[in-house]
Amino acid sequence: MRVAGAVVVIAVLRGGSGSDLARRFTAAGAAGVLVADQNPGAAEDLAAELDRPGCPVIGVSSDVHLPSDVAALVHTAVEHLGPIDLFCVTGPDGERIVSLDELPDHLDPLAELLALVGDAISEVVPPQRQPVASPSASRTAVR
């Protein structure tokens, strides 16, 4: 995975932190980093701390569970930093880094990215137990 000169997007899920990833990428020579965090103000504070000449860091409040938010942060990253090379999702239980040069040229890049983000989220967040139906719900369903 090439980091030097790469434009990186880091999407932080609730309970996660993008600070370690952002620090690693800026130290490795990324050309720019966009951090998107569900926690209002967290990404903006991190960006203010890490932003420097040669590696601008942008922080936005965003929820990558929402396709419209993913589209908006992709637009913001491309507009301010250039084409995205690496898209990362980090949560309380891990991280996943996707290299966008692996995307097939013939597919809609945003649609494919949305699918990859969904896959990445499922990898870094443990599966939730299925809710057990309450007895009253069972009786209602039988009627």
Q: Write down all domains in the chain, each with its CATH number in brackets.
A: 7-127 (3.40.50.720)
Q: Are 103 and 117 in contact (CB under 8 A)?
A: no
The predicted structure's pLDDT at residue 70: 86
The pTM (predicted TM-score) of the whole model is 0.77
Given this model, what pLDDT does residue 104 score? 57
Q: What is the DSSP string of 97-136?
A: EEEGGGS-TTS-HHHHHHHHHHHHHHHHSPPPPPPPPPHH
- Per-residue pLDDT at 138: 41
Q: Which run of H or of E encompasses 96?
A: strand 94-99
Q: Do the Cβ atoms of 31 and 81 come closer than 8 Å?
A: yes
Query: Would you mind telling me the total number of residues written for the chain in this entry?
Result: 143
Query: pLDDT 10s per residue in the chain (143 long)?
Result: 688 999 999 999 888 888 999 999 999 999 999 999 988 899 999 999 999 999 999 999 998 888 888 889 888 999 999 988 998 988 888 888 888 776 655 445 666 677 777 777 776 666 554 344 444 444 434 43
